Amino acid sequence: MNAQSEPVSIAQIEAAINFWRERCPADAQNPSLCAPARALADVYGLMIYSGKTSVARAALSREQAEALAGAE
Residue closest to 55 by CA, chosen among 1, 2, 4:
4
Say if residue 2's pLDDT is above 70: no
Q: pLDDT tens digit string along 29-68?
A: 778 889 999 999 999 999 999 999 999 999 999 999 999 9
Domain, as residue range, for 9: 3-71
User: Which ranges of 1-72 does DSSP label H, i.e. alpha helix?
Assistant: 10-23, 35-50, 62-71
Cβ contact 20:37 at 8 Å: yes
Report the distance separating Cα 16 and Cα 37, nearest Å.
7
Count of structural domains within the chain: 1
What was the pLDDT predicted at 27?
A: 76
What was the pLDDT predicted at 4?
A: 64
